[in-house]
Amino acid sequence: MMNRLEGRKAGTIDGYTYSPSNIASGIVWRAETFDNYITNPLRAIPGTKMAFIGISNAKERGDLWAYLKQFNADGSKK
């Protein structure tokens, strides 16, 4: 479900019921927006369904982004 994250607008995967705040966030997933979000999801999008405290370590956030952006929409590696 997280395939082809880079450049996609938040709250747009068919078949998943996003929170209204996620849909209305206007976020487009890029390195900067992902880093801000994954640091503290509840602060980045108040009202999100993402019940996750976040990742405080900047290197871990960068590593996660690098992992996620390597996939095409179909799940294959770029």
**Mean pLDDT within 5-12:** 91
State the pTM of this model.
Answer: 0.84
* pLDDT at residue 1 greater than cutoff 60: no
- One-letter-per-residue 3-state SS of the chain: CCCCCCCCECCCCCCCCCCHHHHCCCCECCHHHHHHHHHCHHHHCCCCCCCCCCCCCHHHHHHHHHHHCCECCCCCEC
The tens digit of pLDDT for each residue in 18-74 reads: 999 999 999 999 999 999 999 999 999 999 988 899 999 999 999 999 999 888 878
55-59 contact pairs (CB < 8 A, 24+): none
